[in-house]
């Protein structure tokens, strides 16, 4: 305490702000971006940080890379490529543990060769879609996703920016040759195995259980919807189950109409043929999911007679009034598209599905229609006497499945350019985002709304708080105190370097922790007369192995709000995992890189 007071009031205030932020994260439901923004504001107005220091995080390449990657990912989402990734790469698991294994292994493998941030950015929407289709708990998957990407990043020099930062400092300060591209795999591969096994064995008890988004289906509207299997699509020849049409929650395949005959009580092993007409009944979310499956199109050809490209349209719910001129007419008899420039793709009556095909249903007052239309329909018909209610379904709109190969090619090119070192990750992401817009894989208005500003604000403000820890000397004081406990023992010094670096990472960010711990670790090795290589590896691993808090690593922040997690969820799962990784690292590193 005396040493802290000796640093002056800025150090005391900074540590107090950090502790207060942690308490608010752990004990309240206040949004993380509000907490970190308030903490950074306090450090700014009290003069601990200058405006340039406080706002430096908003121009940090790491934060900007995350922001741009949201635009890149919107191209994958808008073309339906995310669904292809989830089905082709992740498959259909049987059980929670198998799902986690199917997810973590490819993520860890990709993160060894890519920066783990874009890997997580690409996989988040794929996992959300995958969980919904297969009835999986999203909260059981997103923390493993982040942890697998972190572990994979420790395998190679380019797996995470932390490794590159430490390697650069090591070469600059010592004149050593530095680490080879795959040299870190000696410790990284065992750590991947440890993280995967830990999650598989303990996830059932430690990972949180959140109420699924599809809960409560008994009290929601059910629609009747008809979809057509496109000839030559990837769905042809697949069974109902293989196509993912049995796994959508709250959705039931009523029958298949094939070449003029009806197939009721459809088996999950029934193969699909081109031009099959599928009749579904279910809730709105799953009905919307059907619109995003590549190879399925609305059974009515009226959809293709609407003006303009499909990606510029939207989905609308409308309730018919008794003044509507189509009351008493069947959907097939009416000229709905001609009058309203909108097409009926699903229908619900009194909250229940109608026992008939859509084209044969006679419209009644109070029927709820799911329409595909131009956005102007909502404005034009909101006050119309023909409808009681007209509301657009958020930003839902038809996907451009034909552009999915283009989107995947763009992302693959981004990965190659960054992986080969031809461009930085930020430059490659900017080029990919521009390509997504130029090729119309994503529209400008969608790209502008793509970034998750809560995540970006937390990342940017966390950099400012980390800068305050470094500037006031608090970080150095905390690390020096831990290292001083080693009393000359090399192995104990390694252990304390890991603890100090991991602690700083939990407080600030991985790169800040690495930069602060580097000189302490190097000086410790020099004073003890041992090879500093092992100490450098320990700092790399400890700075990256941030499992215990959501603010310690940006991939944790990226899954934090999507998974509906609480701060304590990361503490409960990540603290024992960090301890396990620390023990493995301290035991193996001196054997691989002798002291």
Residues near 372 by Cβ (< 8 Å), separated by ≥ 6? 298, 303, 306, 310, 313, 314, 315, 316, 342, 343, 345, 398
How far is residue 370 from each of residues 80, 168, 317, 322, 349, measured CA to CA in Å? 21, 57, 5, 18, 12
CATH class, domain 217-392, is alpha beta
Cα–Cα dist 515/172, whole Å: 13
Residue 219 has what pLDDT? 43
Residue 212 has what pLDDT? 41
- Residue in the block written with tokens 């690292």: 585
SS3 263: strand
- Residue in the block written with tokens 């598209």: 337
Residue 396 has what pLDDT? 62
Cα–Cα dist 132/57, whole Å: 35
Q: Is 244 left (phi over 0), alpha (psi -120 to 50) or beta?
A: left
How far is residue 251 from each of residues 1, 80, 355, 482, measured CA to CA in Å? 61, 20, 15, 57
Q: In the chain, what are the domain boundaries?
A: 10-210+453-592, 217-392
Cα–Cα dist 292/464, whole Å: 40
Strand pairing of 223-229 and 296-298?
antiparallel
Residue 164 has what pLDDT? 79
| pLDDT tens-place values along the chain, 595 residues long | 666 777 788 889 988 988 888 788 767 778 778 888 999 999 999 999 999 989 988 887 777 887 888 888 888 878 877 666 666 677 777 788 899 999 999 889 888 876 677 778 778 877 887 887 777 888 999 999 999 999 998 998 877 778 877 888 788 778 887 888 788 999 999 999 999 999 999 998 999 886 543 444 444 567 888 889 988 888 898 888 888 787 677 788 888 888 888 888 788 889 999 989 898 888 887 787 787 788 888 887 766 667 666 667 788 889 999 888 889 888 778 778 888 888 888 888 876 667 777 778 889 998 889 888 888 888 888 888 899 888 887 666 667 777 888 988 998 888 788 777 788 878 888 999 999 999 988 888 888 888 878 778 877 887 788 788 878 888 777 667 767 776 767 788 899 999 988 887 887 667 767 877 887 788 788 877 888 899 999 999 998 888 988 877 878 888 887 888 888 899 999 999 999 999 999 999 999 998 7
Q: Is 307 left (phi over 0), alpha (psi -120 to 50) or beta?
A: beta
- Residue in the block written with tokens 């990043």: 153
Burial class (CB in 10 A: 0-12, 13-18, 19+), 126: buried
Alpha helices (H) in 265-349, listed in sequence order:
284-291, 336-340
Cα–Cα dist 319/369, whole Å: 6
Q: Please give the angle made by the CA atoms of 564, 568 and 569, to the nearest 5 degrees.
A: 55
SS3 422: coil
């Amino acid at each position: 305490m005396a040493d802290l007071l000796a640093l002056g009031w800025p150090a005391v205030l900074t540590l107090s702000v950090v502790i207060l932020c942690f308490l608010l994260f752990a004990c309240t439901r206040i949004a993380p971006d509000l907490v970190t923004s308030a903490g950074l504001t306090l450090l700014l107005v009290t003069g601990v940080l200058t405006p340039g220091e406080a706002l430096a995080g908003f121009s940090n390449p790491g934060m900007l890379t995350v922001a741009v990657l949201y635009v890149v990912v919107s191209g994958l989402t808008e073309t339906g490529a995310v669904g292809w990734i989830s089905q082709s790469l992740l498959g259909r698991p049987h059980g929670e543990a198998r799902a986690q294994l199917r997810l973590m292994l490819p993520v860890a493998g990709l993160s060894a060769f890519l920066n783990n941030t874009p890997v997580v950015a690409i996989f988040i929407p794929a996992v959300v879609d995958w969980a919904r289709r297969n009835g999986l708990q999203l909260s059981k998957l997103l923390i493993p996703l982040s942890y697998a990407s972190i572990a994979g990043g420790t395998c190679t020099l380019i797996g995470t920016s932390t490794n590159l930062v430490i390697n650069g400092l090591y070469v600059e300060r010592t004149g050593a040759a530095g680490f080879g591209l795959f040299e870190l795999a000696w410790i990284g591969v065992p750590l991947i195995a440890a993280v995967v096994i830990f999650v598989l064995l303990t996830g059932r008890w430690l990972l949180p259980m959140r109420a699924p988004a599809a809960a409560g289906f008994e009290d929601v509207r059910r629609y009747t919807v008809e979809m057509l299997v496109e000839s030559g699509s990837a769905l042809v020849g697949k069974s109902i189950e293989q196509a993912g049409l049995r796994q959508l929650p709250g959705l039931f395949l009523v029958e298949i109409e094939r070449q003029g005959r009806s197939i009721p009580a459809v088996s999950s092993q029934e193969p699909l043929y081109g031009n099959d007409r599928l009749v579904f009944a279910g809730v709105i979310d799953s009905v919307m999911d059907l619109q995003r499956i590549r190879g399925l199109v609305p059974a009515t050809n009226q959809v293709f007679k609407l003006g303009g490209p499909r990606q510029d349209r939207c989905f609308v719910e409308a309730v018919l009034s008794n003044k509507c001129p189509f009351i008493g007419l069947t959907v097939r008899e009416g000229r709905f598209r001609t009058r309203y420039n909108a097409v009926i793709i699903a229908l619900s009556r009194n909250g229940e599905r109608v026992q008939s095909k859509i084209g044969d249903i006679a419209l009644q007052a109070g029927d709820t229609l799911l329409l595909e239309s131009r956005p102007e329909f909502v404005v034009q018909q909101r006050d119309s006497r023909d409808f009681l209610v007209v509301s657009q379904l958020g930003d839902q709109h038809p996907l451009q499945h034909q552009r999915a190969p283009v989107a995947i090619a763009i992302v693959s090119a981004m990965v190659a350019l960054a992986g080969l070192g031809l461009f930085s990750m930020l430059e490659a992401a900017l080029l990919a985002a521009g390509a997504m817009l130029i090729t119309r894989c994503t529209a400008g208005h969608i790209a502008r709304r793509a970034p998750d500003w809560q995540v970006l604000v937390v990342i940017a403000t966390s950099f400012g708080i980390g800068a305050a820890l470094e500037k006031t000397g608090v970080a150095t004081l905390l690390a020096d105190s831990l290292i001083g406990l080693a009393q000359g023992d090399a192995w104990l010094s390694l252990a304390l370097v890991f603890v100090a670096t991991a602690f700083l990472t939990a407080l600030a960010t991985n790169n800040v922790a690495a930069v602060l711990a580097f000189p302490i670790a190097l000086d410790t090795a020099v004073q003890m007369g041992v090879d500093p290589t092992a100490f450098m590896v320990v700092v790399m691993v400890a700075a990256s192995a941030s499992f215990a808090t959501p603010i310690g690593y940006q991939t944790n922040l990226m899954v934090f709000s999507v998974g509906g997690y609480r701060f304590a969820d990361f503490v409960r799962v990540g603290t024992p995992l960090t301890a396990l990784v620390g023990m493995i690292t301290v035991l193996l590193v001196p054997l691989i890189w002798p002291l």
